[in-house]
Structure 1
Amino acid sequence: MTKPSYADPLDLPCGVRLKNRFCKSAMTEALANADDAPNTAHQTLYERWSHGGMAVNVTGNVMVDRRYLERPGNVVVQDDSVLPALTDWAQAAKAGGRQIWMQISHPGRQCPIVVNMRPLSPSAEKLRILGLFGKPKAMTTEDIKDAIQRYATTAGLAKKAGFDGVQIHSAHGYLISQFLSPITNQRTDEWGGALENRARFLRAVYAATRAAVGADFPVAVKLNSADFQKGGFTLEDSCQVARWLEEDGIDLIELSGGTYEQMSFVNGTEEQQRDSTIKREAYFLEYAREVRRAVRVPLMVTGGFRSSAAMVHAIAEDGIDMIGLARPLCVQPDAVAGLIDGSLDTIGIKEDGLVIGQGRFGVNATNWFIKLINAVSRVEYFAWQMTRMSRGDMPQTDARKNALGTFLWYLNRTTLMGARRKFARHP
């Protein structure tokens, strides 16, 4: 029997066929203006990616509620006022003959104070990072029902605008992830306690979303393999939630991990950063193998893939169905085309310049502030490359930008965009 290749098509349970096994995973673009709508910057960036060879391009966080953003610059889709701009975005993103899926999300307590001082969360557990986040309000039953409907409304508008699928963001410590984790969900009602109750919100969001888009429209979920925090969402929990999602009819599960407090989705787990495992490419592959044993639904793994050999092995030997790529596509937007035609064996850039020093001040630093700067610096360097491409410029391919400078650029940009947004009038 011939082993699968990353150039092979993939059939989803809903009946849609993907051209190959590559997906551009979601990254926050932060390109919206004060009106929270997509604009020509989104069109330029995604049209560029549409010619890069990926079967699917997934957008960054599209918010379901204008009151709560992951950061200023997020696109918000909560009513049909944004439909014309959304349609233009979808058309540009499909210019190269590839699919565009919208990632729909709610930040929960991971909403910065420049957007809202009192965000919503399952419980009133504050996120303590440099005073950037306010104390959340525990959601009422009405808040929960409203949020569920908002996901469905956004998904329906995505389909109406011409997007080819949606992905429900249930990872990285955002609202659904907060419901799943016993650290952030300390409720004692039907939405908290046992895993079955903690997963109720995700399953309700999926059911409402599926009802809004129909049976033949791809609906995916991005799910943490684990929170990597003591007492949090575990690998065993992830396997069980994946089983429930498969029963419910999900089309694809993308596995990632971590939260703002444990940013494994940026640098891998602490264990993988040690010398004995530093050469491992795919951050979450070993966790994905366990989820693979639990379900047959298509799985995608994102985080750390850089060599063709590792990608081929993940598909042929580990049973992974799709390879998710993110940061490499910010500096090499045509990387997938090169992998498929054989002109590239490895992708991405050396990222040593995106951390403060090496050794005890590098990615393994124990000082929480240094670790925070390094993690944010890596994310924001690639956000800067997306900004360059959104202007029609080529990305910068050397990573010698100062880590602290990149961190300060993020704080300044977020604060200014937040201030402009607060003075704008929203319907």
Structure 2
Amino acid sequence: MKYNHLFEPGNIGPLAIQNRIVFPALEVLGAGFNGEMSEDLITYYEERAKAGVGLIITAYASVDEEFSQSFEGSQLKLTHPRYTSAMSKLARTIHKYDTKVMVQIYQAGRQAVPTEISGRRIVAPSPIGFSLYEQIPEEMTKEEIHRSIGKFVNAAKMLKNSMIDGVEVLAAGGYLINQFLSPYSNQRTDEYGGSFENRFRFLAEIVTGIRTACGKDFAISVRFSADEFMEDGYDLQEGIKIAQALEKLGVDCISVNNANQEKRYLIIEPTTIKSGWKSYIIKAIKEAVSIPVIATNVIKLPEQAEEYLSEGLMDFAAVGRGIYADSEWAKKAKEGRAEDIKPCIGCLYCLDQQGLFRKSACAVNCRTNREREFPLLDRDLVGKKIVIVGAGPAGIEAALVCADRGASVTIFEKENFVGGAAELGARTPDKEALKALVTYYETQIEKRQIDLLLNTEATVDRIKAYEPYAVFIATGGTPIIPPIKGLSGSNYLTIPEALAAGYAIENKKVVVIGGGMTGCETAEHFALMGNDVTLVEMQPKLAPEVSPDNLVTVLENLEKCQSQMLLSHKLMEVDHGKVVVEEVPAGKRKTIAFDHLILSLGNRPEKSLYQEMKKEHENVLLIGDALQTGRVANAVHTGFERAYVMS
């Protein structure tokens, strides 16, 4: 077998695990209306168990309904025996595949949604606020602390009654238990604050209570932050003390996490943070304890997991977003088909959806968290010809679905590469994950024997010559060029032109107009080449269309390169190597010299071929940016969905 360590059996306390693959707790907001384990969630977990994941740890379940939680009304709960029935169905379903299942339990503390949303109180160890919300929590009374401990224990008892194999206590991510552990958020002067032993007491009493109530045949894992990465918080040395104290308490394993929601990008890393960055932290914890260690480490690929396991860095590899993006990750790894794993691109679209209290969705895999909505395809298009115009994510997704349905598929692509805007984006710094998606598409086109015609402009006559059953138009968008005085085709570059293969400059003055994510990444691209870059954005905020976590390393690089960022400024005029920008709403103008001017003002859908084809063919479908410009997720989802439902 290619990945011997990854598929070696292991043990966590009383549990025999068939391999070292863990699908860790990821919130997907898929619970039922009352917080029960829903049919959608059961199917979501079942697909991953069926593919051979060794241990599944579900999204966190609240042990409490008295106080406000992080996602009111949309997350799992374990507050009443009525939740046992659905949990037991999950256990029976997962156990069919020899997969073990734990449920993570938690309380939100100061990271709960505000009272104005929930109608409930927010409590915490101390009245220390959370930067995302203005509300200051109330300090918990000792009676409330003791009630909270009882709630954790009762939740664990319900899980054992549900035939769940174990519980993971969430002491990470800045939630309530983490708040007690941290000297930053715990400023109590009683026996639950102050010294390490006092700050650890809350967690210790929870773990002891669970062990007493559930016995040694019920596994206990604790997920904790090994380093808070916060001023006045605790560091790795204290994280080691936490791990050792947990081992002394008798937990069956520990799961190593980092940071809290103040630095969320170190918990759920954006695409620019590389696999392996946490290795030194995990190594320090692993060397300090003898119980099994589960760890995340931005593991997307089987070879990464194999490497960390073979080095003894961890005992079990937690593959979160990788298995979220491809439910068959474990199966494909076991069969030596890593090239067929659809890669997570680290875009945090899943997180953005949750920020809007929506059910989570994956940018690159439409079936994720929607498995019941999109059962596996029938081969109902055998003998039919499909033509796709455009080999960007939308066009390729449609092509793959149609090929899986049995059709003979041809793709027209006017450029000499596949991937469209995604391929262009992959040319900016730290976009290995996006490059991996393009490579995946190239591989799947070849494996499905799709006829790919590069450097070929699609016309109505060329398309009609194939006598297609259906035509998908994925012609993307065309750059928006505003009617600005002095702006002409000879004095600016569009994003496709600026990111053209081989286009490189240095020691030049570069002005980028437009501070969406594309503009920010393009500015970073040229700044790192050694240019003097100025980024101009009309709005007061950069890249509001994406999670701010995506911007962290981009902004760090721009600041390191001493690039200028002019927010609330709009382009007014271009004149002989200079742009005039105006501050909004003050009206104050500023002139900036440039050698190269790049416009990143978005795109408008390119629909001309679609409009022509509609006159000639009854089954023409518009997808991707040609339908509505947006992120990779928009392209992927429209391509997949329209090809899936096409009759």
Give me the TM-score of the superposition, normalised by structure 2: 0.54
- Shift, 1:390, TM fit: 5.2
Provide the rounded CA distance (Å) in 1 between the counterparts of 2:288 and 2:139: 33
Greater fraction helix: 1
- Native 8 Å contact 1:118 1:134 kept in 2: no
Spell out the pairing of 1:84-163 with structure 2 (5 A cutoff).
84-113=85-114, 114-116=117-119, 118-129=121-132, 131=133, 134-163=135-164
Name the CA distance, whole Å, in 2 between partners of 1:219 and 1:208.
11
- Separation (CA, whole Å) in 1 of partners of 2:344 and 2:78: 36
| Post-superposition CA distance 1:74-94 (Å, at most 9, x none) | 111112122222222322233
Q: 8 Å contact 2:129–2:135 — kept in the other structure?
A: yes
CA gap 1:4/1:181 in 2 versus in 1, 3 angstroms: farther
Q: 1:422: which partner in 2?
A: none
**Which structure has the higher relative contact order (CA within 8 Å, separation 6+)?**
1
Decide whether the 8 Å contact of 1:52 with 1:333 is kept in 2. yes
Following TM superposition, by how much is the alpha carbon of 1:103 offset from its aligned partner in structure 2, in angstroms? Answer: 0.6
Which aligned pairs between 1:174-253 and structure 2 lie closer than 5 A?
A: 174-253=175-254
CA separation in 2, counterparts of 1:59 and 1:148? 21
Q: Distance in 1 between matches of 2:198 and 2:338?
A: 46
Q: CA 1:63–1:352 in 2, change beyond 3 Å: closer, same or farther?
A: closer
In structure 2, what is the Cα distance between the partners aligned to 1:388 and 1:375? Answer: 15
Tell me, in whole angstroms, the C-alpha distance in 2 between the residues paired with 1:76 and 1:223.
Answer: 21
- Structure 1 regions of 5+ residues with no counterpart? 356-371, 409-427
Residue of structure 2 equivalent to 1:9: 9
CA contact (8 A) 2:226 2:258 kept: yes
**1:28-59 Cα shifts (integer Å, max 9, x gaps):** 12122332222211222122222121111100
- 1:352 and 1:392 map into 2 onto residues whose CA distance is 23
Q: Distance in 2 between matches of 1:374 and 1:50?
A: 25
Q: Does 1:71 align with 2:65?
A: no
One-letter amino acid of the counterpart of residue 301, structure 1: A
In structure 2, how many angstroms separate the alpha carbons of the residues matched to 1:149 and 1:19? 33
State the match for 1:387 in structure 2. Answer: 369
312-321 or 399-408: bigger deviation: 399-408
CA offset digits 1:81-124 (Å, max 9, x no partner): 22222222322233323111111111111111222553111001
Distance 2:257 2:160 in 1: 25
| 1:305 to 2:307 alignment | no
Taking the aligned partners of 1:303 and 1:346, their CA distance within structure 2 comes to 21
Q: If the length of structure 1 is used for normalisation, what is the TM-score? A: 0.80
Q: Which amino acid in 2 is paired with 1:219? A: I
Residues in 1 aligned to 2:174 and 2:111: alpha-carbon distance in whole angstroms: 7
Alpha carbons 1:25, 1:326 under 8 Å: kept: yes
CA distance in 1, matches of 2:373, 2:94: 15
Asked if structure 2 preserves the Cα contact closer than 8 Å seen for 1:28 and 1:61, the reply is yes
Asked if structure 2 preserves the Cα contact closer than 8 Å seen for 1:170 and 1:221, the reply is: yes
Aligned pairs for 1:247-396 within 5 A: 247-263=248-264, 264-267=266-269, 280-344=274-338, 347=341, 349=343, 351=345, 381-382=361-362, 386-389=368-371, 391-392=373-374
* Equivalent-residue separation in structure 2 for 1:147 and 1:91 (angstroms): 29
Distance in structure 2 (CA, Å) of the matches to 1:33 and 1:16: 29
TM-fit CA distance, 1:4: 7.0
Inter-CA distance 18–207: structure 2 relative to 1 (3 Å threshold)? same
Q: CA offset at residue 346 of structure 1?
A: 8.4
Could you tell me how far apart the structure 2 residues matched to 1:406 and 1:230 are? 27
| Matched positions, count | 378
Q: One-letter code of the match for 1:190?
A: E
The structure-2 alpha-carbon separation of the partners of 1:354 and 1:121, relative to structure 1 and needing over 3 Å to count, comes to: closer
Question: 1:282 and 1:51 mapped to 2: Cα distance?
Answer: 28
Give the Å deviation of 1:202.
0.8
CA shift, 1:134, in A, is 3.0
Equivalents in 2 of 1:346, 1:305: separation in Å?
16
Indicate how the Cα distance of structure 1 residues 353 and 248 shifts in structure 2: closer, same or farther if over 3 A, else same. closer
- Following superposition, the deviation at residue 215 of structure 1 comes to 0.8
Return the letter of the residue paired with 1:299: V
1:42, 1:390 within 8 Å by CA — same for their partners in 2? no
Mapped contact 1:152–1:209 kept (Cα < 8 A): yes
Amino acid paired to 2:151: R
Query: How far is 1:221 from its partner?
Result: 0.6
Deviation of 1:352 after TM superposition, in Å, equals 6.5
Q: Distance in 2 between matches of 1:157 and 1:123?
A: 30
1:391 and 1:233, CA in 2 relative to 1: closer, same or farther beyond 3 A? farther
The change in CA–CA distance for 1:352 and 1:54 in structure 2 (over 3 A counts) is: closer
Q: Is 2:22–2:319's contact at 8 Å kept on the other side of the alignment?
A: yes
In 1, Cα distance between the equivalents of 2:163 and 2:204? Answer: 25
Q: Which amino acid aligns with 1:222?
A: R
Aligned partners of 1:117 and 1:135 also within 8 Å: no
Cα displacement (A) at 1:171:
0.4
CA contact (8 A) 1:156 1:212 kept: yes
User: Are the counterparts in 2 of residues 308 and 345 from structure 1 also a CA contact under 8 Å?
Assistant: no
Deviations 1:123-155 (A, max 9, x none): 0111121x3x63211111111111111111001
Assess, with a 3 A threshold, how the Cα gap between structure 1 residues 188 and 214 changes in structure 2: closer, same or farther: same
Distance (Å, rounded) in 1 between the aligned partners of 2:193 and 2:372: 42
Contact kept in structure 2, 1:156 and 1:209, CA below 8 Å: yes
Match of 1:82 in 2: 83
Cα distance in 2 between the residues matched to 1:182 and 1:345: 45
Deviation larger for 76-85 or 138-147? 76-85
User: In the alignment, does 2:22 pair up with 1:40?
Assistant: no
Which amino acid is the alignment partner of residue 51 of structure 1? Answer: K
The alpha carbon displacement at 1:227 in A equals 1.0
Bigger fraction of residues in strand: 2
- Give the aligned residue type for 2:130: L
Q: 1: CA distance between counterparts of 2:43 and 2:248?
A: 38
Gaps of 5+ in 2: 377-392, 398-418, 423-433, 435-516, 518-542, 549-647
Deviations 1:251-292 (A, max 9, x none): 111111111111111117xxx95xxxx5x4134221010111
State the Cα distance separating 1:70 from its structure 2 match. 2.1
2 CA distance for matches of 1:289 and 1:375? 32
Distance in 1, Cα, partners of 2:368 & 2:344: 18
Do the aligned residues in 1 keep the contact of 2:36 with 2:76 (CA within 8 Å)? yes
Amino acid in the other structure paired with 1:50: A
Task: Read off the aligned partner of 2:237 and give its amino acid letter.
Answer: E
Counterparts in 2 of 1:171 and 1:139: CA distance versus 1, 3 Å: same
Partner SS, residue 369 of structure 2: helix
Q: 1:289 to 1:37 in 2, by over 3 A?
A: same
Is the contact made by 1:22 and 1:325 (CA closer than 8 Å) also made in structure 2? yes
How many Å separate the matches in 1 of 2:370 and 2:545?
Answer: 17
Amino acid at match of 2:332: G
Deviation at 1:381, TM superposition (A): 4.6
